[in-house]
Amino acid sequence: MSTGHPHHDAPHTEQAFLHLAVTSEGRERRTLVEELVEAWLPMAHRLATRFRNKGENLEDLKQIAAVGLVKAVERYEPGRGAFESYAVPTITGELRRHFRDHTWDVHVPRRVQDLRNKVRSARRDLLEQPGHRQEPDLDEIAAQAGLTLDEVRDGVGALESYSSLSLDAELGSSGDSFSLAGVLGRTEGAYDLIADREAAKEGLRRLPDREREILYLRYFEDMTQARIAERVGCSQMHVSRLITRSCEQVREYADRGARAVQQAA
């Protein structure tokens, strides 16, 4: 697989991809994927370096880019354009998804993160308009971004959730300051969540690998059923049935555990 490109990292792999497209699952296909990934890895690493000034370790970014490259190699369909045109957005999307999902101090749903980006972009565009010197209000941002007022409020709230305030931070005036931790005093609701997670462990452990993966993608990665269906290779309706059935099985094992504890007591 020779190279020949201004970047010197785009090998000529057209024939290898054509071969891959007609090769069924098995050792030969895995070998082809590995060879193609290895051939294109320099390009993936080059894309990773574009994100090196965002506070993440470069080697970690290269690993994330490699994950995106594997996805691109496995999903690419010859005849729909050059592989590089398909791989670049796939790899950069994987890198951006990493920053979106893992660099927030406070967990924010993906939908709200997207609203945050739209609100921030609309606000910046409004402030850059000639004659617009004051902070734009919610109505202006909504019109600029094509969002509802409720969506703008969610986006503004997310702007304040990107970084968290330390509990030891001093609040108030210099003469009457206090720490945030000093005024917090309430029952921690997360303890109930811990108990629920422990109760669900046995049921999750007994699920088949695919059902366990689907639940993880739905409830931990916040993926839609349509995206999950594409990921695991089945219909959205079947994914919906598997989620319902799996949740029922997990709940059944949790209820059994609760009854066993009550009987022992």
Question: pLDDT digits over 46-92, tens only?
Answer: 999 988 776 677 888 899 999 999 999 999 988 888 898 889 999 99
Mean per-residue pLDDT of the chain: 79
pLDDT in tens, 146-204: 999 888 888 877 766 555 555 555 555 555 555 555 555 555 555 566 666 676 777 88
Total-model pTM: 0.41
Residue 170, amino acid: E
Phi, psi of 264 (to 5 degrees): -65, -35
Phi, psi of 254 (to 5 degrees): -65, -40
All structural domains of the chain: 14-102 (1.10.1740.10), 110-183 (1.10.10), 190-257 (1.10.10.10)
Tokens of 246: 């799996």
- pLDDT band at residue 235 under the 50/70/90 scheme: very high
> How many angstroms separate the CA atoms of 228 and 211, rounded?
11
pLDDT in tens, 95-105: 888 876 665 55
pLDDT attached to residue 2: 41
